[in-house]
């Protein structure tokens, strides 16, 4: 029997937590003012969502979720170091600086 052509990412609690930690470290290092999730900030501006605590929390949450999905989906980390690096590197790669 042939192996499947596409193999989906394998999300476990630990890989997700450590990948989220990597994305959080990247966010903390770079900061909200310099780092945006593509389209999200512009969409929230278009919807006239005011800057404030809830918007910042929402953007942070979407950033972390995005980092986990991309980091785990592309890197398929199997160790703690790989998971943290996946969250850090892939989030930094696909996030918009500016």
Closest CA to 9 of 63, 90, 94: 90
What would the pLDDT profile of 56-98 be if each residue is shown by its tens digit? Answer: 888 888 888 888 888 888 888 989 999 988 888 877 776 666 5
Q: Where are the domains of the chain?
A: 34-97
DSSP, residue by residue, the chain: -PPPS-------HHHHHHHHHHHHHHHHHH-TTTEE-TTHHHHHHHTTPPSSHHHHHHHHHHHHHHHHHHHHHHH---SHHHHHHHHHHHHHHHSEE-
| 16-20, 43-47, 55-59, 60-64, range with greatest mean pLDDT | 16-20
Provide the pLDDT confidence category of residue 13 given band limits of 50, 70 and 90.
very high
């Amino acid at each position: 029997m042939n192996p499947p052509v596409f193999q989906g990412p394998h999300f476990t609690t630990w890989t997700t937590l450590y990948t989220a930690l990597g994305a959080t470290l990247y966010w903390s290092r770079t900061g909200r003012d310099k780092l945006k999730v593509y389209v999200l900030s512009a969409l929230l501006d278009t919807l006239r969502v005011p800057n404030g605590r809830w918007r910042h929390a929402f953007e942070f949450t979407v950033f972390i979720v995005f980092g986990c999905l991309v980091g785990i989906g592309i890197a398929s980390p199997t160790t703690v170091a790989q998971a943290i690096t996946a969250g850090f590197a892939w989030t930094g790669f696909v996030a918009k600086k500016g």
